[in-house]
Amino acid sequence: MGVVVAIALGLTLSACAPGRVDAVAAPPQVEAELGDDTQAQLTAAVERAMAATGSGGAIAGVWVPWAGQWVSGFGANPDGSAVAADDAFKAGPVTRAMTCDVLYGLAADGVVDVADPVTNWIVGFPATPVVTLEQLCDSTSGLGSYQPKLQGRWETNPSRTWAPHELLAYGLAAGAPTGDGTYANSDAGYVMLGIALERASGSTAAELFERYVFGPLGMTASSLPGATAELGLHGTQSVITPEGAVDCANAVDLTSLSPSAGFTASGAVTTADDLGRYARALATGLRSFDGEERFAAPLPVDGGAPTWYTVDGGAYHAGTLVGQYGSVPGYQTVAFADRDTGLTVVAVLNNSRASAEAIRVLGWQLAAIASKVPAAEGETAPPSGLPWTPEQLDGDLAAVATCPIP
C-alpha cells in the first residue's frame, strides 16, 4: 500500500478563533516525491514561464494526494544567491482570499454579518449606494484600484510606508462605488474590507490574519507584516528602454517595496509550503467557518471568459480549481487547489513586468501536468476533470510574454 500521511496543523488560537484543526485526513497526501518524468515536465513549465517574463528566480510546489509532492527553487537573486524552495516571498493578491477568510471567520463568531453595510464602521463613506462587506470580498462594489496610480511612486520610493487610508483614497479617486454587483477586481475594496474588519473586531489586520488564517492552518512562516518584511526571494522588474521596449537583460530590484503598499489587498508574506497548505484548505473547506454560501453565487471573470472560469468569495474558480493569482511590483504569485481531489499548485516568479496572466498560465499548466500523474502503489488516481491541457496554454503564455521564449 502507498504510504499516506495526514497533514499536521499545529496551532495556538484565542478563545474566539476557529476550532482546532489537528489533522486533515481527506484527501490524504502520499508521502513521496513525484516521479522523475513528472518533475521534468513541471520544471520545463516553470523555466518556460521564467523565460517569458524575464524572471531570474522562481519557486514552485505541487502536491498530488494520490502520488506525491514536489517543491523546488529555480535560478538566482540579483545578488547571485541561489533561490531556495523555502524562501519567503510576497503572496500578492492571494492575500485577498485571506481577507475574505477573516470576514467569514468573524461572521461565524457573530462579530459581523457579511451583509452589513461598510458604513457601520467607516465614517464618511457614501451611504448610497449601499456597499456591503460581502460586496467588498466579492469585488462587486465598483470601487476603483489604486495600484495603477501609485505604481510609479512605488518604483521610485519603494521603502515608503503607506497608511491604509492613503491607499483607499487613491482607489476612491480612481472609481466611486456603484453597487451594481458587477465583478471588477479592486485592490481598494480589499483594503476597505480590512479597515472595516479591524474596527469591527478591535484587532489589527495582522492579528486577524494570524487568528483566522495562519494559526489554524499551521502557516508558521507566513504573516501580514507592516512596514518591512524579510524576503528570501528578491522581487524585480525589467526596465524599459528609451525606445519603449522591455530590456530582458536588466531589471530593478523592488524587494524593498513596503508590504504596507498592499495591506489586506496584497501585503501577506509566505512560503511555498505554507501557501500550498492554504490553497488546499481554501478549496476543500477545512475550517469551521468554511461554508458553501461563500462560493454560492459565482460571476463571470469577464464577458469573454469560458463558463467554467468564474469568481466569487475572493477567489477564482477554474473548473474544479479554486484559488487566486496576480502580481505586485517584483512578484507574480499563483495558488490553486482542486476542491474534489485536493491537488494543489503554487508558484511565484520574481519579475512583475509581464501581465499577471503569465503566472495564471503557469499555475494552470502545473495543475494539468499534475492531474495526469499515475497513482502510487496501492492508491487510486481520480479522473482528470480540468478543461485544458498544458499544450493548450502554451499559446496563452506566448501572448503575454515580454521576453523571448526559447
What is the bridge-based pairing of β-strands 344-349 and 331-338? Answer: antiparallel
Pairwise CA distance, residues 195 & 274, whole Å: 25
Site of grid cell 474566539: 16
Which grid coordinates are listed for 324?
Answer: 487566486
Pairwise CA distance, residues 284 & 73, whole Å: 26
Site of grid cell 462579530: 111
382 phi, psi to nearest 5 deg: -75, 165
pLDDT score for 11:
27
Tell me, what CATH number does 116's domain have?
A: 3.40.710.10
CA angle 3, 338, 66 (to 5 degrees): 20
CA angle 184, 185, 187 (to 5 degrees): 135
pLDDT score for 385:
82
34, part of any domain: yes
Neighbours of 357 (CB within 10 A): 16
Helix 147-156 vs helix 164-174: angle between axes, to the nearest 10 degrees? 130
pLDDT score for 126:
82
Helix 187-201 vs helix 164-174: angle between axes, to the nearest 10 degrees? 140
Count how many Cα atoms sit within 13 Å of the Cα of residue 116 in the half-sphere of its side chain: 19
User: Which letter does DSSP use for residue 383 in this model?
Assistant: P
113, part of any domain: yes
What does the pLDDT profile of the chain (406 residues) look like in tens digits?
Answer: 333 323 333 322 333 555 545 444 346 899 999 999 999 999 999 999 999 999 999 999 999 999 999 999 999 999 999 999 999 999 999 999 999 999 999 999 999 999 999 999 998 888 889 999 999 999 999 999 999 999 999 999 999 999 999 999 999 999 888 878 899 999 999 999 999 999 999 999 999 999 999 999 999 999 999 999 999 999 999 999 999 999 999 999 999 999 999 999 999 999 999 999 999 999 999 888 999 999 999 999 998 999 999 999 999 999 999 999 999 999 999 999 999 999 999 999 999 999 999 999 999 999 999 999 999 999 999 987 899 999 999 999 999 999 999 8
H-helix or E-strand spanning residue 155: helix 147-156
405, part of any domain: no
184, part of any domain: yes
H-helix or E-strand spanning residue 194: helix 187-201
- Confirm if 121 and 200 have CB atoms less than 8 A apart: yes
Domain count, the chain: 1
Neighbours of 351 (CB within 10 A): 28
Smallest Cα–Cα separation from 188: which of 253, 269, 93?
A: 93
- Confirm if 267 and 89 have CB atoms less than 8 A apart: no
- Confirm if 107 and 113 have CB atoms less than 8 A apart: yes
- Domain containing 363: what range? 4-400
406, part of any domain: no
Neighbours of 24 (CB within 10 A): 19
Pairwise CA distance, residues 71 & 203, whole Å: 34
Cα Rg, the chain, nearest whole Å: 20
Pairwise CA distance, residues 254 & 156, whole Å: 10
Residues near 31 by beta carbon (within 8 Å), at least 6 away in sequence: 3, 4, 5, 68
Kindly report whether the global pTM for this prediction surpasses the value 0.75.
yes
pLDDT score for 101:
98
Smallest Cα–Cα separation from 115: which of 102, 96, 139, 131?
A: 131
